[in-house]
Amino acid sequence: MQQRADTRLARATAKAPRNLAAARHRSLLRARVALAALLREGSAPWDDSRSLAGVLQSGDWAAAELAGIPDEPELRETDMALLACDHAGAEETFEARLRRLVRGYREGEIDQSNASSAELLVARVTEAAMPPPLPPPLSEEG
């Protein structure tokens, strides 16, 4: 009986990808490029912050590294398939953290001079979701 359990364990571990480091690295590079592109759109709440400059520079470096791979659609699909079961539950954790950061941003708790990339993302998403300010009322004169 012990031998049967051992062979099942061996088969289960053999099916799992052993080295996901390269796929994880490419996924991180893609995320940095996407974040930098998102933060470049429109006007960021903290256009002059050093943290924003750092995230944008990191996105540029990531784009250059991806260009050297080259990052073709087939490779992206393969990476997505490899990483699909990596870090189960990460979406829920990300959503909970994002909600907490949105509350913090709305309450003015985020330090603009030392914002993380996640905080910059929250600022962009929150600002984009807020309706534009209403124009001042027209004066009766005129």
Domain ranges of the chain: 19-125
Q: How many whole angstroms separate alpha carbon 50 and alpha carbon 33?
A: 18
pTM for the whole structure: 0.70
pLDDT for position 8: 52
- Mean pLDDT to the nearest integer, 70-75: 90
pLDDT for position 42: 63
Instruction: Please state, for a pLDDT cut of 90, what percent of the chain lies above it.
Output: 27
pLDDT higher for 27 or 139? Answer: 27
For 87: left if phi > 0, alpha if psi spans -120 to 50, otherwise beta; the answer is left
- Mean pLDDT to the nearest integer, 43-54: 73
Q: With 60 as the cut, is the pLDDT of residue 142 above it? A: no
